C-alpha cells in the first residue's frame, strides 16, 4: 500500500481545503511532519483513518467533535496504490460529513473508486458501511489493526507491544492472512468429515435395506420364479373353464330372479293407485297455496321490518343519551386542560427565555474571538453615535438621575440582606461536619456489609476447596485405572498395523498377479485354438495348391500342343502359297516378291494351298482356343500364386503363435516366481502357510510336434474348390471344429491360485477384524484416558484456584474487618465533631443527629436564598452603575467628540483584555441557569413540556368538538329512525288487509292452513315426477316382463346347482390368484435381487473406503482442534518479527536492550547491560517503551503483506520522540537513516526541532488564523 495524495477540509483545525502530495515526501524513505503543538499534525493521521474506515480513533464514538467549529461540513479524500512491481492499481476513498448538532455529524457522501492505468474510474461502493467492509477486504486489516501496525497515533504506539495473546493472535491472523489455516480449514475438515459420516451412514442404512443379495440368493429366486410360472399357467386354464360354466348358470338365475321381481313390481305398482290420486289432490291444493303465500311472506317481511325499525329507534335514543353524557365529560376535560395550559405556559415560556439566554452564553463562551470582532464593531458604532449624541444630552441626564435613585434603593436592600461572616462560618462548619458525619455513617454501613459479605465468601470458598479436592482425587484414581487398562490392552496386540498393511498390500499384489495369470492363460488357450485352426487351414491350402499345380501343368501342355499344331498348319499353308507363286513365274520375268529374274526353286509344285474360306475359319478357331487356354492358364497361375502366398502367411502366423506360446509359458513361470518372491515377506511375519502355488515354467509349453500336429492332419475335402471359385484364404478359419485341451483342476494354475488367494484373503479379513476390534477398544480406552486427563488437569487447576480463592477470601475478610474497625472509629469522631459544631447554632440538644443535619441544611438554604438575592441586587447595582457610566460617557462624547472617541477606544481595549474575565462571568451565569446540563437538552425538554401542554389542550378541545358533532348526528339519526318506524307500521297494516282478501278468495281459513298446504319446490317437483313415473312405469313393466320370458327360452337352474358352480369358480379363482401372486412375488423378488446385487457389492466397497476416509479426517480434526495450528503459525511469525525487532532495538539502544517473545504470547525486554536480566515491557520508561515499540513496528511493517499479496510500503509514527533525550534521538534517527527500507517509507510526526533539522523531506503544518491550519512542503 503506497499513499499518493490526501485532501482535508473542515476536519479539526483544517478549516479550508489542504492537499498533501506524498509522492514528493516518500522518495527519501524517512520524512517528517512538523508543527507546533495544536497545529494539526495528528489530524493528518485522523484524516487517513477517517477516509479509509469512517472513524477517528481518538474521537468519541469515532466521529463526535471532529468538525471545525466554524464550518458546517468536512471532506476527506485519500488516494493510494495497491500492488507490487509494475502491476499496481489506484484507489480513491472519499467521505463527506455535515453538522448534525454541536458535536455530532452525519455522513452524506461515501465513495470508493478504482482508477485504471488508463485513468478510467469505476465506483466500487457508495455506501459508508459497504465501503468500510470493502476496504477491510482490500487491506486485510480492521481500523484497530491499521492503527496498531501502520498508522500509530498519539498514545497508540505501544499498544501492540502490550496486547494480550488472543488479541495479538487475532490481529496477526488478519495481517498475515492466516484465516485459511484456522477457522476455514477447520470448517472444511468438519464439513468433509460430516459428509463422509453422512455418506457412511447412508451406505450402512442402504445395505441394511438391501438385505441378502448374494449369487446363491439369486439362483434360489430364479428357481422359485420358474415353478411359480408353471403353476400360474395351470391355474389359469382351470379358472377359464369354471368361469364359463358359472357365467351361464348365473345368467339363467339372474333372468329367473328378474322375472319374479317383475311380477312383484307389477303387484306393488297396482297397490299404489290410491297414492297417485292423493298426490294429484295435494298438488292442486299446493298450487292454490302458492298463489296466497307471497302475500303471507310480504306480511312477515313487513312485520320484521317494523320490529327492526322499532329496535333501531330505541338504539338511536340510547346512543343519543350516551353521547350527551360523554359531551358533558369531554367539555369538563377540555376546560381542565386549557386551565393547566394557561397556568403552566407562562412559567415554561419564562424558563424557555432563560434557557435561550443560557444557550447564548454558551455560544459567547465558545466564540470569544467573535466577541473580539463584535467589540471592534461596537467601537465603530460608538464613533458613529458620537456625532449624533448632542440631541441626547437632556434625555441621558434624566435617565442618569432615575438610575441613581434606583441604585440607592438597591444598595439599601443589599445592606439589609447581608449575612455576618461569623454566622456564615458557623453554618458552613455545621454543614461540613454534618456531611462528614453522614459520610462516615455511610462508610461504616458499607464496611459492615462488606465484612459480612467477605465472611460468607470465605465460607463458600472453603467448602468449594474441599469439594474440588475430593473431585480431583477421584478423577486421579480413575485415570490411574484407565492407564493400567491401556497398558494391558497394548500388551495384547495381535498384530501391528504396519504388518496388516503389508499383508494387505501383498494380497492386493497377489490379486493383480492372479488377474495377469488368468489373462495369460486365456491368451494361451486362444493361441492353441488358433494354432489348430491354422494347421487345418494349411492342410486345406496344401491340397488346393497340389490341385492348382496339376491343373496349370495340364493347361500348359494343351496350350503347347495347340500352338505346335497351329505352327505346322502355317508351314503347310506357306509351302502351298510358294508353289502357287512359282507356277506363275517364267524365266526372265521378274519375281513379284523379290524382283529377281532367275527362279531356281520352281520345283515345289506338289503342295496345294487350303481353300481361303476354310483356312480363315481354322485360324479364327485356333485363336479362340488359344485365348481360352491362355485365360485359363493365367487364372490358374494367379490362384496358384495366391495359394502359395496364403500358405506362406499361414506358416508365418504359425511361427508367431509358437513364439507367443513360448513367451506366455515363460511369463507364467515368471508370475509364479514373482508371486513366491512377493509373499516371502508375509511368511516372515509369521503368516500361516497358505501359499501352495508353484507354477512350473514349462507348464503347457507347446512342443515342436504339438505345434505342427495340425499340418499332419488332412481334413477330407468333399467338394473341390473350383479354379474360378472363392479363394480358400478368404474363408473363415474357425469354421472347422477344433478340439480344445481343457486342463484339469490340478493342472489349472489360475484355479489353484484363486483358491489359495481366497483363503488368504479370508484369513486376512479375520485377522484385520480382530485387529480392528483391538484398536477400537484401545482407542476407546485412550479417548477415555484423554478425557480423564483433561478432567484431572481441570480439576487440579480448579482445586488450586479454589485454594487461592480461599486464601484471597481470607485476606479480604481480614482487610474488611480492619476497615470496619477503622470506619467505626472515624464515625465516632465525626459524631463528636458534629455535635460540637451544632452548639453555636443552638442545636446541641437535637436528637438524633440526622435531624441536626437537616436543620443545618435548612439554615444553609436560608443563607443561600439571601446570597442569591444579594447576587441579584449586586447585578442590578452593577447594571445601574454601567448605565449611569454610559450616560455620563454619552454626555462627555456629546460635549467633546474627539475626547469621547479616544476614551471609547481605551475602554474597549481594556474590555478585550478582560474577555477572559467576562467569559468566567458568563460561565457562572450559565452554571446558575443550567446547573451544568447542556442548554440544548434543557431547551428540548422545556419545549417538549410546553408542546405537550398545548397538545393536550388542543386534543381535549378537538375531542369535545368531535363528541358534540357526534351528539348532533345521533339526534338526527333518532328522528330519522322514528319516521322509518312509522312508515313500517303503516306498510304492515296494508299487507294484513291484502292477505285476508286472498285467503277468502282461495278458500283458506288461516295462514297455518296455507303453510300446511304448501309444498317445497323440490317436494312439488318430486310429486309431479312421481305421478309421471308411476304412469310410465305401469307401461314399462308389461314390456319388460315379456322380454325376460323370451330371454329364458325355457331354461331353468336350481339354487343348489348355481351354488355348486359358484363354489367351483371361487376355488379356481382363489387358486389362480394365489398362483399369480406367487409368480408376481417370485418375479419381483428375483428382479429386486438382480437389481440389488451389483449395488450390494458396490456398497460394500464404498463402505470400506468411507471408513478409511473417516479415520483420516478424524485425525485431521483432532490435529486442527481449536486454534492450535493458527497459534503455531502466528507464533512462528511473531518469533521471526521479534528477532527482527530485537536487532533494531539493539541498534537503537547501543546493544543494551533486546526484545524476546515468551511462551504466553507476550514480550519481555532483556537488559544485556545488566547481565541479561529480563524485564516486563510495563517496567520501561516512556522513551524506552517508544524505542521498543518503534523497533517492533519496523519489523512488523516489513513482514505485512496486505491480503497476502501486496507489501506495506509506509507507516506513520506520531509523537514518540518527545520522550527521548538528545542522545537517544540521535541514535534512533541514525538507525532509521541507515535502514534499508527498500520501497517502505516512514513518516515521523513530531514538534522536536532536532528531528526537523535532520530530515530532508519535511511537511510543515502552520498553526492557522481564522482560515485554519495550512501545510507546506520543505525539501532540504
What average pLDDT score do residues 387-393 get? 60
Let me know if residue 371 belongs to a domain.
no
Predicted confidence at residue 616, as pLDDT, reads 63
* Measured distance CA(1157)–CA(1134) in Å, rounded: 7
- Mark whether 890 and 1023 lie in a shared domain: no
**Mean residue pLDDT across the chain:** 77
Predicted confidence at residue 588, as pLDDT, reads 66
- Mark whether 233 and 145 lie in a shared domain: no
Task: Using alpha carbons, list the distances in angstroms from residue 995 to 877, 990, 1014.
Answer: 104, 9, 16
Predicted confidence at residue 899, as pLDDT, reads 60
Please write the tens of the pLDDT for every residue from 1030-1050. Answer: 778 777 877 787 787 777 777
Number of domains in the chain: 5
Which pLDDT band, with edges at 50, 70 and 90, does 1276 fall under?
A: low
pLDDT over 80 (residue 729) = no
Please identify, among 964, 984, 1013, the residue that sits at the C-terminal boundary of a domain. 1013
Please write the tens of the pLDDT for every residue from 237-268. Answer: 888 888 888 887 788 788 878 877 877 877 77
Q: Which of 47-61, 252-266, 904-918, 992-1006 has the highest mean pLDDT?
A: 47-61
* Measured distance CA(27)–CA(20) in Å, rounded: 14
Please write the tens of the pLDDT for every residue from 261-285. Answer: 877 877 777 777 777 777 777 777 7
Predicted confidence at residue 152, as pLDDT, reads 64
Let me know if residue 1227 belongs to a domain.
yes
Please write the tens of the pLDDT for every residue from 767-810. Answer: 778 877 887 888 888 788 878 877 887 787 777 777 867 777 78
* Measured distance CA(425)–CA(1192) in Å, rounded: 61
Predicted confidence at residue 691, as pLDDT, reads 45
Predicted confidence at residue 9, as pLDDT, reads 93
Predicted confidence at residue 712, as pLDDT, reads 41
Please write the tens of the pLDDT for every residue from 1069-1103. Answer: 888 888 888 888 878 877 877 777 788 778 888 88
What average pLDDT score do residues 363-392 get? 66
Task: Using alpha carbons, list the distances in angstroms from residue 555 to 551, 559, 722, 932.
Answer: 6, 6, 15, 144
pLDDT over 60 (residue 511) = yes
Q: Mapped to the 3 state alphabet, what secondary structure does 1256-1268 carry? A: CEEEEEECCCCCC
Predicted confidence at residue 693, as pLDDT, reads 43
More confident call, 6 vs 309: 6
Listed range (368-372, 717-721, 874-878, 1002-1006) with the worst mean pLDDT: 717-721
Please write the tens of the pLDDT for every residue from 69-119. Answer: 888 899 999 999 888 767 888 999 999 999 988 788 999 999 999 998 888
pLDDT over 50 (residue 220) = yes
Q: Is the pTM of this model over 0.85?
A: no
Please identify, among 1096, 1117, 1137, the residue that sits at the C-terminal boundary of a domain. 1096
- Mark whether 1009 and 1021 lie in a shared domain: no
Predicted confidence at residue 48, as pLDDT, reads 92
Please write the tens of the pLDDT for every residue from 419-440. Answer: 777 877 888 888 888 888 888 8
- 713 three-class SS: coil
- 594 three-class SS: coil
- Mark whether 922 and 972 lie in a shared domain: no
Which pLDDT band, with edges at 50, 70 and 90, does 711 fall under?
A: very low
Please write the tens of the pLDDT for every residue from 169-198. Answer: 666 666 666 766 777 777 788 888 888 888
Let me know if residue 1263 belongs to a domain.
yes
pLDDT over 80 (residue 896) = no
Please identify, among 1096, 1130, 1154, the residue that sits at the C-terminal boundary of a domain. 1096
Predicted confidence at residue 720, as pLDDT, reads 34
Question: What is the per-residue burial (b if ≥16 Cβ within 10 Å, else e) of 133-165?
Answer: ebbbebbbbbbbbbbbbbbbbeebbbbbbebee
More confident call, 697 vs 309: 309
Any bridge partners for residue 1009, and if so which? none
Q: What is the DSSP string of 952-971?
A: HHHHHHHHHHHHHHHHHHHH
Angle at CA 127, nearest 5°, toward 123 and 131? Answer: 70
pLDDT over 60 (residue 934) = yes
* Measured distance CA(134)–CA(128) in Å, rounded: 10
Let me know if residue 624 belongs to a domain.
yes
pLDDT over 80 (residue 1239) = no
Let me know if residue 81 belongs to a domain.
yes
Output the nine-digit C-alpha cell for 804: 487461592
Q: What is the DSSP string of 739-783?
A: ------TTT-HHHHHHHHHHHHHHHHHHHHHHHHHHHHHHHHHHH
* Measured distance CA(573)–CA(570) in Å, rounded: 5
Listed range (372-386, 621-635, 746-760, 855-869) with the worst mean pLDDT: 372-386
Let me know if residue 772 belongs to a domain.
no
Predicted confidence at residue 41, as pLDDT, reads 85
Predicted confidence at residue 813, as pLDDT, reads 83
- Mark whether 973 and 920 lie in a shared domain: no
- Mark whether 7 and 85 lie in a shared domain: yes
- Mark whether 290 and 407 lie in a shared domain: no
Predicted confidence at residue 97, as pLDDT, reads 94
Predicted confidence at residue 1045, as pLDDT, reads 74
What average pLDDT score do residues 338-356 get? 84
Q: What are the φ/ψ torsions at residue 319 (nearest 5 degrees)?
A: -65, -40
- Mark whether 1005 and 1024 lie in a shared domain: no
Asked if residue 707 lies in contact with residue 658, where contact means CB atoms within 8 angstroms, the answer is yes
Distance of CA 1237 to the CA centre of its chain: 42
Which pLDDT band, with edges at 50, 70 and 90, does 379 fall under?
A: low
- Mark whether 519 and 645 lie in a shared domain: yes
What residues make up the domain containing 1050?
A: 216-271+1017-1096
Let me know if residue 779 belongs to a domain.
no
Asked if residue 1187 lies in contact with residue 1195, where contact means CB atoms within 8 angstroms, the answer is no
What average pLDDT score do residues 873-886 get? 83
* Measured distance CA(880)–CA(405) in Å, rounded: 10
More confident call, 365 vs 165: 365
Find the CATH number of the domain harbouring 15.
3.40.50.300
Element (H, E) at 499: helix 497-582
- Mark whether 123 and 253 lie in a shared domain: no
Please write the tens of the pLDDT for every residue from 1144-1191. Answer: 788 878 888 888 877 666 778 888 888 888 888 777 777 777 777 778
- Mark whether 616 and 676 lie in a shared domain: yes
- Mark whether 893 and 1025 lie in a shared domain: no
Please write the tens of the pLDDT for every residue from 555-603. Answer: 888 878 877 787 777 777 777 777 776 776 767 667 766 666 666 665 5
Let me know if residue 1198 belongs to a domain.
no
Q: Percent of the chain beyond pLDDT 90? A: 5
What DSSP state is assigned to residue 19? E
Predicted confidence at residue 732, as pLDDT, reads 36
Predicted confidence at residue 80, as pLDDT, reads 92
pLDDT over 70 (residue 497) = no
Amino acid at each position: 500500500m503506497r499513499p499518493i495524495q490526501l485532501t482535508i477540509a473542515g476536519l479539526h483545525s483544517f478549516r479550508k481545503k489542504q492537499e498533501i502530495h506524498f509522492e514528493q515526501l516518500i522518495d527519501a524513505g524517512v520524512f517528517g511532519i512538523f508543527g507546533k503543538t495544536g497545529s494539526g499534525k495528528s489530524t493528518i493521521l485522523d484524516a487517513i483513518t477517517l477516509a479509509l474506515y469512517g472513524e477517528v480513533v481518538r474521537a468519541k464514538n469515532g466521529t463526535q467533535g471532529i468538525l471545525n467549529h466554524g464550518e458546517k461540513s468536512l471532506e476527506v479524500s485519500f488516494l493510494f496504490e495497491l500492488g507490487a512491481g509494475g502491476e499496481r492499481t489506484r484507489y480513491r476513498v472519499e467521505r463527506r460529513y455535515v453538522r448534525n448538532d454541536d458535536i455530532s455529524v452525519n455522513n452524506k457522501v461515501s465513495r470508493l473508486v478504482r482508477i485504471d492505468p488508463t485513468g478510467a474510474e469505476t465506483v466500487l461502493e457508495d455506501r459508508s458501511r459497504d465501503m468500510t467492509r470493502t476496504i477491510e477486504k482490500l487491506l486485510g486489516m480492521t481500523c484497530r489493526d491499521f492503527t496498531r501496525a501502520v498508522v500509530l497515533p498519539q498514545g497508540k504506539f505501544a499498544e501492540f507491544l502490550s496486547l494480550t495473546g488472543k488479541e495479538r493472535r487475532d490481529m496477526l491472523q488478519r495481517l498475515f492472512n492466516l484465516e485459511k489455516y484456522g477457522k476455514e480449514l477447520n470448517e472444511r475438515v468438519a464439513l468433509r468429515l460430516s459428509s463422509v459420516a453422512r455418506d457412511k451412514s447412508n451406505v450402512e442404512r442402504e445395505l441394511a435395506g438391501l438385505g441378502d443379495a448374494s449369487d446363491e440368493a439369486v439362483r434360489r429366486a430364479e428357481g422359485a420364479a420358474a415353478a411359480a410360472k408353471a403353476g400360474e399357467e395351470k391355474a389359469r386354464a382351470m379358472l377359464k373353464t369354471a368361469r364359463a360354466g358359472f357365467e351361464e348358470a348365473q345368467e339363467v338365475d339372474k333372468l329367473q330372479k328378474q322375472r319374479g321381481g317383475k311380477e312383484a313390481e307389477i303387484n306393488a305398482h297396482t297397490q299404489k293407485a290410491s297414492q297417485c290420486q292423493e298426490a294429484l289432490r295435494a298438488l292442486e291444493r299446493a298450487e292454490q297455496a302458492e298463489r296466497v303465500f307471497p302475500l303471507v311472506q310480504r306480511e312477515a317481511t313487513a312485520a320484521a321490518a317494523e320490529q327492526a325499525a322499532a329496535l333501531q329507534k330505541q338504539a338511536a335514543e340510547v346512543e343519543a343519551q350516551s353521547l350527551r353524557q360523554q359531551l358533558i365529560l369531554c367539555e369538563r376535560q377540555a376546560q381542565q386542560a386549557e386551565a393547566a395550559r394557561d397556568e403552566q405556559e407562562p412559567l415554561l415560556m419564562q424558563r424557555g427565555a432563560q434557557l435561550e439566554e443560557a444557550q447564548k452564553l454558551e455560544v459567547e463562551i465558545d466564540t470569544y474571538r467573535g466577541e473580539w470582532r463584535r467589540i471592534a464593531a461596537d467601537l465603530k458604532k460608538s464613533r458613529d453615535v458620537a456625532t449624533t449624541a448632542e440631541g441626547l444630552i437632556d434625555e441621558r441626564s434624566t435617565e442618569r438621575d432615575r438610575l441613581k435613585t434606583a441604585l440607592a434603593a438597591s444598595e439599601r436592600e443589599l445592606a439589609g440582606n447581608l449575612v455576618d461572616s461569623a454566622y456564615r462560618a458557623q453554618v458552613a462548619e455545621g454543614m461540613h461536619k454534618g456531611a462528614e458525619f453522614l459520610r462516615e455513617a455511610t462508610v461504616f454501613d458499607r464496611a459492615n456489609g462488606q465484612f459480612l459479605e467477605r465472611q460468607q465468601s470465605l465460607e463458600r470458598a472453603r467448602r468449594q476447596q474441599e469439594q474440588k479436592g475430593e473431585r480431583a482425587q477421584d478423577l486421579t484414581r480413575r485415570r490411574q485405572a484407565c492407564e493400567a487398562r491401556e497398558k494391558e490392552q497394548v500388551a495384547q496386540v495381535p498384530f501391528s498395523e504396519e504388518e496388516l498393511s503389508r499383508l494387505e498390500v501383498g494380497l492386493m499384489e497377489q490379486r493383480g498377479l492372479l488377474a495377469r495369470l488368468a489373462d495369460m492363460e486365456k491368451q494361451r488357450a486362444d493361441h492353441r485354438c488358433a494354432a489348430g485352426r491354422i494347421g487345418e487351414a494349411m492342410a486345406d491350402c496344401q491340397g488346393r495348391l497340389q490341385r492348382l499345380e496339376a491343373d496349370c501343368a495340364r493347361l500348359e501342355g494343351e496350350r503347347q500342343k495347340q500352338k505346335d499344331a497351329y505352327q505346322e498348319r502355317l508351314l503347310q499353308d506357306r509351302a502351298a502359297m510358294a508353289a502357287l507363286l512359282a507356277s506363275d513365274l517364267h524365266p526372265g520375268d521378274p519375281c513379284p516378291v523379290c524382283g529377281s529374274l532367275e527362279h531356281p526353286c520352281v520345283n515345289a509344285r506338289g503342295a496345294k494351298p487350303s481353300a481361303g474360306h476354310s483356312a480363315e475359319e481354322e485360324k479364327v478357331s485356333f485363336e479362340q482356343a488359344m485365348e481360352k487356354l491362355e485365360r485359363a492358364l493365367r487364372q490358374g497361375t494367379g490362384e496358384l500364386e495366391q495359394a502359395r502366398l496364403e500358405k506362406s502367411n499361414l506358416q508365418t502366423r504359425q511361427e508367431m503363435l509358437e513364439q507367443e506360446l513360448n513367451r506366455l509359458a515363460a511369463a507364467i513361470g515368471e508370475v509364479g516366481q514373482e508371486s513366491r518372491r512377493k509373499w516371502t515377506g508375509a511368511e516372515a511375519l509369521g503368516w500361516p502357510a497358505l501359499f501352495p502355488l508353484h507354477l512350473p515354467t514349462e507348464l503347457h509349453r507347446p512342443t515342436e510336434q504339438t505345434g505342427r500336429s495340425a499340418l499332419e492332419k488332412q481334413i477330407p475335402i468333399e467338394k473341390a474348390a473350383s479354379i474360378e471359385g472363392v479363394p480358400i484364404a478368404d474363408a473363415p478359419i474357425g469354421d472347422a471344429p477344433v478340439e480344445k485341451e481343457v486342463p484339469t483342476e490340478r493342472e489349472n494354475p489360475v484355479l489353484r491360485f484363486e483358491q489359495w488367494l481366497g483363503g488368504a484373503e479370508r484369513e486376512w479379513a479375520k485377522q484385520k477384524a480382530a485387529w480392528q476390534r483391538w484398536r477400537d477398544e484401545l482407542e476407546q480406552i485412550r479417548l477415555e484416558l484423554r478425557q480423564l486427563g483433561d478432567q484431572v488437569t481441570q480439576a487440579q487447576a480448579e482445586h488450586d484456584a479454589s485454594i487461592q480463592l480461599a486464601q484471597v477470601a481470607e485476606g479480604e475478610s481480614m482487610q474488611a474487618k480492619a476497615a470496619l474497625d477503622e470506619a467505626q472509629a472515624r464515625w465516632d469522631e465525626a459524631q463528636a465533631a458534629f455535635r460540637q459544631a451544632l452548639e453555636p447554632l443552638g442545636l446541641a440538644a437535637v436528637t438524633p443527629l440526622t435531624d441536626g443535619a437537616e436543620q443545618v441544611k435548612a439554615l444553609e438554604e436560608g443563607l443561600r436564598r439571601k446570597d442569591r438575592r444579594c447576587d441579584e441586587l449586586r447585578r442590578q447595582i452593577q447594571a445601574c452603575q454601567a448605565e449611569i457610566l454610559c450616560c455620563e460617557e454619552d454626555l462627555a462624547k456629546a460635549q467633546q467628540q474627539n475626547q469621547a472617541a479616544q476614551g471609547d477606544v481605551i475602554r474597549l481595549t481594556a474590555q478585550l483584555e478582560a474577555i477572559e474575565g467576562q467569559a468566567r462571568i458568563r460561565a457562572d451565569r450559565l452554571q446558575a441557569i443550567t446547573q451544568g446540563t447542556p442548554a440544548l437538552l434543557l431547551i428540548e425538554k422545556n419545549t417538549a413540556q410546553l408542546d405537550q401542554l398545548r397538545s393536550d389542550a388542543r386534543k381535549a378541545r378537538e375531542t369535545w368538538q368531535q363528541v358534540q358533532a357526534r351528539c348532533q348526528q345521533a339526534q338526527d339519526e333518532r328522528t330519522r329512525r322514528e319516521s322509518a318506524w312509522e312508515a313500517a307500521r303503516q306498510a304492515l297494516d296494508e299487507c294484513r288487509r291484502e292477505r285476508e282478501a286472498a285467503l277468502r278468495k282461495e278458500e283458506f281459513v288461516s295462514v297455518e292452513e296455507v303453510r300446511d298446504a304448501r309444498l317445497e319446490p323440490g317436494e312439488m317437483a318430486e310429486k309431479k315426477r312421481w305421478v309421471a313415473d308411476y304412469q310410465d312405469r305401469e307401461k314399462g313393466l308389461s314390456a319388460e316382463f315379456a322380454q325376460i320370458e323370451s330371454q329364458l327360452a325355457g331354461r331353468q337352474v336350481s339354487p343348489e346347482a348355481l351354488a355348486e358352480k359358484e363354489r367351483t369358480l371361487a376355488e379356481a379363482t382363489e387358486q389362480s390368484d394365489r398362483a399369480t401372486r406367487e409368480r408376481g412375488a417370485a418375479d419381483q423378488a428375483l428382479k429386486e435381487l438382480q437389481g440389488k446385487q451389483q449395488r450390494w457389492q458396490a456398497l460394500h466397497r464404498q463402505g470400506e473406503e468411507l471408513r478409511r476416509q473417516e479415520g483420516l479426517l478424524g485425525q485431521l480434526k483432532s490435529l486442527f482442534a481449536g486454534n492450535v495450528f493458527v497459534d503455531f503459525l502466528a507464533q512462528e511469525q511473531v518469533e521471526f518479527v521479534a528477532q527482527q525487532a530485537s536487532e533494531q532495538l539493539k541498534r537503537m539502544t547501543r546493544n543494551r536492550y533486546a526484545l524476546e517473545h515468551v511462551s504466553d504470547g507476550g514480550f519481555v525486554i532483556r537488559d544485556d547491560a545488566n547481565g541479561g536480566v529480563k524485564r516486563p515491557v510495563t517496567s520501561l520508561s516512556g522513551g524506552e517503551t517508544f524505542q521498543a515499540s518503534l523497533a517492533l513496528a519496523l519489523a512488523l511493517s516489513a513482514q505485512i503483506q496486505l491480503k497476502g499479496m501486496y507489501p506495506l510500503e509506509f507507516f506513520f509514527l506520531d509523537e514518540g520522540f518527545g520522550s527521548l533525550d538528545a542522545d537517544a534521538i540521535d541514535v534512533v534517527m541514525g538507525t532509521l537513516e541507515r535502514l534499508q527500507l527498500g520501497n517502505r517509507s516512514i513518516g515521523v510526526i513530531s514538534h522536536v526541532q532536532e528531528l526537523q533539522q535532520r530530515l530532508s523531506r519535511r511537511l510543515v503544518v502552520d498553526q492557522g488564523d481564522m482560515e485554519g491550519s495550512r501545510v507546506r512542503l520543505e525539501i532540504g
